[in-house]
């Protein structure tokens, strides 16, 4: 098959790859996104849809700033997507709640924020610590077992499937080429370009961005990068639609724009399967009913498990290859939340041939891994 050339190839059409493609859509047909087929394991189709700030950044204060910046950039992303595609991604940022089911849990939550905010360089945001009555003022029908919680005005959520569809449509309308069923099997630096062997033949590109989620672990060393990511399983329960009762997202429970209630999300490191675990689902359901007893009567209509893309310290990996200039990697576990900075900050920096200054702390050099030269 003849080699096809593009100026920039993004490997992976999940939320990270498509947010970057959106930010680079000015390249038009000079940009290609090479993706797997519909059987691919995609975190982007199984996530909870939070645009979330509170609690993040322990051990890396810059990550809290990066996340807050994305939350601030999100309204522009949502507006641009609506204008270019007509798709409303249902962004709302009314603030978000984290619930604590015992006094002890609340004390630990407060201690966590004391440590988080005390980190040098931490960009502080507003946070209210609420007792039971304080939470009840924000959530009708609160269960008596809720001891309290934390509320941050910067938190919110969106419809992540609408986001995914809107990014794909906008990138397509800009004339960029999306190639499904084009899993990249190997990647080879060739002089000043890269040669990508895909299921559909050879593609050459002057620059390449690895945004293949869990697939980055295998691909990155081929261009002198490292992405030691592993799967972390999360499960989500979907309840039937009920009349609107929740006006803001709770970190593990939210009502979507169409009235569906989602309960999630669990965290299981290591597992690479997507089997549902009944014991974990039962625990999630019990905790949700304790928080909001009215949910006891709602039917579960669906459940799924999906795999997060997790680095060893849970923070993103953004890197440019020193051995092979023009090759980049981008991966993270909060691709919904970070979609706006990926599109607005990281993508323009990559277009200029570097990672954004704010992204420099996220090089894989921080792990004890040596990328192949």
Ligand X SMILES: Cc1cc2nc3c(=O)[nH]c(=O)nc-3n(C[C@H](O)[C@H](O)[C@H](O)COP(=O)(O)OP(=O)(O)OC[C@H]3O[C@@H](n4cnc5c(N)ncnc54)[C@H](O)[C@@H]3O)c2cc1C
Would you give the binding string for ligand X spanning residues 260-289, x where CB under 6 A is met?
A: ----xx------------------------
H/E element holding 136? helix 132-138
Q: Of 31, 211, 227, 364, which one interacts with ligand X (CB under 6 A)?
A: 211
Please tell me whether residue 306 binds ligand X under the rule CB under 6 A: yes
Please tell me whether residue 44 binds ligand X under the rule CB under 6 A: yes
d(CA 297, CA 300): 10
Q: Of 130, 332, 343, 359, which one interacts with ligand X (CB under 6 A)?
A: 332
Cβ atoms of 252 and 234 within 8 Å: the answer is no
C-beta atoms surrounding 79 within 10 Å: 12
| Residues 172-200 as b or e (16 or more Cβ within 10 Å = b) | eebebbbbeebbbeebebeeebbbbebee
H/E element holding 328? strand 327-331
H/E element holding 368? none
Q: Of 6, 10, 11, 60, which one interacts with ligand X (CB under 6 A)?
A: 11
| CA distances, 349 to each of 319, 334, 359 (Å) | 12, 20, 10
Per CB under 6 A, contacts with ligand X among 212-241 are 212-213, 215, 219, 234, 236
Which phi and psi (to 5°) does residue 222 adopt? Answer: -70, -20
Question: Least Å distance between CB 287 and ligand X?
Answer: 16
Please tell me whether residue 331 binds ligand X under the rule CB under 6 A: yes
Which pair of structure tokens corresponds to residue 150?
């934390």
Would you give the binding string for ligand X spanning residues 236-255, x where CB under 6 A is met?
A: x-------------------
User: DSSP character for 272?
Assistant: -
Q: Of 335, 341, 344, 350, which one interacts with ligand X (CB under 6 A)?
A: 335
Cβ atoms of 147 and 290 within 8 Å: the answer is no
Q: Of 15, 99, 147, 281, which one interacts with ligand X (CB under 6 A)?
A: 15
Question: Least Å distance between CB 41 and ligand X?
Answer: 6
Per CB under 6 A, contacts with ligand X among 77-106 are none
Count interface residues toward ligand X (CB under 6 A). Answer: 42
Nearest to ligand X of 46, 62 (CB atom): 46
Count how many residues are written for the chain.
373
Residues lying near ligand X in the complex (CB under 6 A): 11-17, 34-36, 40, 42-44, 46-50, 52, 183-184, 211-213, 215, 219, 234, 236, 264-265, 306-309, 331-337
């Amino acid at each position: 098959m003849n080699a096809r050339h593009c100026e920039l190839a993004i490997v992976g059409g999940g939320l990270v790859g498509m947010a970057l493609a959106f930010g680079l859509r000015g390249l038009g047909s000079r940009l290609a996104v090479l993706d797997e087929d519909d059987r691919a394991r995609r975190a982007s189709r199984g996530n909870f849809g939070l645009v979330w700030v509170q609690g993040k950044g322990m051990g890396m204060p810059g990550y809290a700033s990066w996340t807050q910046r994305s939350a601030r950039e999100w309204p522009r992303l949502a507006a641009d997507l609506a204008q270019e595609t007509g798709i409303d991604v249902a962004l709302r940022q009314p603030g978000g709640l984290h619930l604590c089911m015992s006094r002890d849990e609340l004390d630990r939550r407060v201690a966590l924020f004391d440590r988080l905010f005390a980190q040098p360089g931490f960009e502080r945001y507003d946070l209210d610590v609420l007792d039971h009555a304080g939470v009840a003022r924000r959530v009708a029908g609160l269960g008596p077992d809720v001891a309290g919680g934390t509320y941050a005005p910067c938190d919110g959520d969106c419809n992540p499937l609408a986001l995914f569809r809107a990014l794909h449509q906008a990138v397509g309308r800009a004339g960029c080429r999306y190639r499904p069923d084009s899993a990249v099997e190997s990647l080879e630096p060739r002089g000043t370009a890269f040669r990508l062997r895909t299921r559909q033949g050879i593609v050459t590109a002057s620059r390449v961005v690895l945004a293949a989620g869990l697939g980055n672990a295998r691909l990155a060393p081929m261009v002198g990068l490292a992405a030691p990511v592993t799967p972390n399983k999360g499960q989500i329960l979907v309840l039937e639609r009920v009349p609107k009762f929740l006006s803001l997202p709770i970190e593990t429970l939210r009502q979507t724009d169409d009235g569906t209630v989602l309960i999630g999300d669990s965290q299981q490191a290591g597992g690479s399967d997507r089997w549902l675990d009944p014991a974990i689902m039962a625990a999630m359901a019990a905790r949700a009913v304790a928080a909001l007893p009215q949910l006891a009567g709602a039917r579960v209509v669906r459940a799924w498990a999906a795999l997060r893309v997790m680095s060893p310290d849970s923070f993103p990996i953004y890197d440019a290859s020193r051995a092979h200039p023009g090759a980049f990697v981008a991966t993270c576990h909060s691709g919904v939340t970070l979609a706006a900075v990926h599109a607005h900050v990281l993508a323009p920096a990559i277009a200029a041939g570097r990672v954004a200054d704010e992204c420099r702390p996220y090089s894989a050099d921080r792990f004890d891994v040596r990328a192949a030269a």
